[in-house]
Amino acid sequence: MRSRILPTVVIATNIFLLMTIWYDWRFSYFSLDDFNNLFWVQRVSGWSMLWHVVDPLSDFFRPLGMSVYWILLHTAGLNAWPYHVLAWTLHALNVGLVYLLLVRIVGSPFAAAVGTLLFGFRANFGEIYWNFGFIFELLACFLMLLVLLIQTRERRSYLTISLALLLTILAIKAKEMAITLPALLIAYDFTQKRNPDRKTKFEYLGLAAITVWFIRLELSAMPTDSPEQPYHMDLTFLTAGRGYGWYGDHLSAFKLRWGAWITISALFFLCMLYRRERRGIFFLASVFISFLPVVFLVNHRGEFYWYIPFLGVAGLVAVMTDSISRRMQRWVPSAASTLGLIIFLTIAGMHYGRETQKLHEVVSLQRGLSKEYASFVRQLYELPQPAEGETIYFRSFPENFSSVNLLSVTQVALHRTDLKIDVVHEFPTSCRYCLDFEDGKLIRRNQ
């Protein structure tokens, strides 16, 4: 569908949705995950942080994402605004990359715009918009999309393939979920029937080496797996089916049994196989492949995990939109552009209204938490500097805090790594820092 107005409307609509994120979450502060991550990077040097990124044997937790924390802590301190501006900018870049990928694979800017529209603003990603602790998802997704964009080039050189392999390693160091990237690249080549040549074999050899490296590193660093741990994985077909079903339910308005979701996906695959719709097969496969690292988790599921796999959903929507728009161009060629504009604006309006309504209560809760955390940290920062190695006693504190979070936020707020904390029901007879947090006020009760 071609129109001078349509591209302008598409761009303006996506900019509006992205600006909505910036405006609606302008209150964002640090979360508990942020305090814990800042606690750890406060204890390492810049050279050490860089070494964890480049060292293939380092088992440091997500070193690329943690490096972002290190840089921001030493440039912006506890000013939360730069952290969130970076996160929102990364999301905007991801929206642009999704659009470019869909245009290249589907071949229709209009269809790509519809698919991208659904990715740019979603209630499923409300945690990501608010919590900078999801910088790992944003970074990993950004690097994965760049690699996929390189993979979809008609001609690839050894230089671009080497760059893709390097970005794949960095994506994995941003978040482990990116380990699915080698499978995604091979799935793209397979579904698009790209004939393997020497360069492709070189790439596959590199991808195999990366996969083996990751598996050996993870096995060596993996702690004893307990069923009570948040990241406990139950590697069974039943758990996988239930996992896919859970994510299917939380993406749509339907609440189906997991078997129904698997059946629908299988029928959809057979339909596309019959129609030889290779683009759709790739996008459907990408959803299932991208979820593999988290679908076996039984104690830790969240809608935010849709962020990376959503490329597949956006692609499926784009493929179906392209099919419909081609028919419209045959049936009403003179009015196709006008109808396309009306349809796009209708979809955009319905999508915005639905997602905004779903986010209303979430944003209200997040605003309250941000206000409480900001007040608590500001009042901690204003305390007189404690003596070296001093213990700070807390009798009451923000509701969601644990003793681990209290230690993190205390050391980060006071820029100290030597302080200790203790949670007590009654203050000791002699303490210089006996703190209560009541009605948003941090009260120092000297004993």
Q: Do 345 and 220 share a structural domain?
A: yes
Residue 391 β-bridge partners: 420
Residue 224 has pLDDT above 90, yes or no: no
SS3 per residue for 36-98: HHHHHHCCCCHHHHHHHHHCCCCCCCCHHHHHHHHHHHHHCCCCHHHHHHHHHHHHHHHHHHH
Same domain, 24 and 107: yes
- Any bridge partners for residue 233, and if so which? 297
Provide mean pLDDT across the span 60-70: 94
Domain count, the chain: 2
Quick check: is 186 in a domain? yes
Q: Which of 116-120, 162-166, 254-258 has the weakest average pLDDT?
A: 254-258
Mean pLDDT of 409-436: 91
Q: Residue 200: inside a domain, yes or no?
A: yes
Cα dist. 159→58, 85, 162, 181, 272 in Å? 26, 32, 5, 19, 35
Mean pLDDT of the chain: 90
Residue 331, both tokens: 């049936």
Residue pair 210/182 in contact by the 8 Å Cβ criterion: yes
Q: Per the domain annotation, does 245 fall within a domain?
A: no
Does 371 fall in a domain?
Answer: no
Percent of the chain with pLDDT over 70: 96
| pLDDT (mean) for 50-67 | 92
Q: Is residue 255 part of a domain?
A: no
Structural domain includes residue 112: yes
Pair 337, 413 in one domain: no
Specify the higher pLDDT residue, 107 or 255: 107
Residue 250, in any domain of the structure:
no
The verdict on 427 and 360 lying in the same domain is: no
Q: Which domain holds residue 395?
A: 384-444
pLDDT at 11 over 90: no
If you average pLDDT over residues 74-91, what whole number do you get?
95
**E strand or H helix at 423:** strand 420-423
Q: How confident is the model at residue 221 (pLDDT cuts 50, 70, 90)?
A: low
* Domain edge (last residue) among 366, 392, 412: 366
Q: Which residue has the tokens 């080549």?
A: 189
Helices (DSSP H) in 382-421: which residue ranges? 403-413
Same domain, 32 and 99: yes
Residues 81 and 124 in one domain: yes
> How sure is the predictor about 447, in pLDDT bands with cuts at 50, 70 and 90?
low
Say if residue 360 is in the same domain as residue 422.
Answer: no
Section 74-87 average pLDDT: 95
Q: Provide CB contacts within 8 A for 330, sequence distance 6+.
A: none
pLDDT tens-digit profile of 269-315?
999 999 889 999 999 999 999 999 999 988 888 999 999 999 999 99
Q: Are residues 176 and 286 in the same domain?
A: yes
Within a domain: residue 300?
no
- Looking at the structure, do residues 403 and 351 belong to the same domain, yes or no? no
Please check whether residues 344 and 429 belong to one and the same domain.
no
- The answer to whether 407 and 33 are in contact (CB under 8 A) is no
- What distance in Å separates the CA atoms of residue 271 and residue 281, rounded to the nearest whole number? 10
Q: How many CB atoms lie within 10 A of CB 438?
A: 10
Same domain, 149 and 83: yes
Instruction: Return the closest-CA partner of residue 213 out of 156, 172, 152, 242.
Output: 172
Give residue-wise pLDDT tens across range 147-178: 999 999 888 889 999 999 999 999 999 999 99
315 and 439 co-located in one domain: no
257-275 pLDDT tens trace: 889 999 999 999 999 999 8
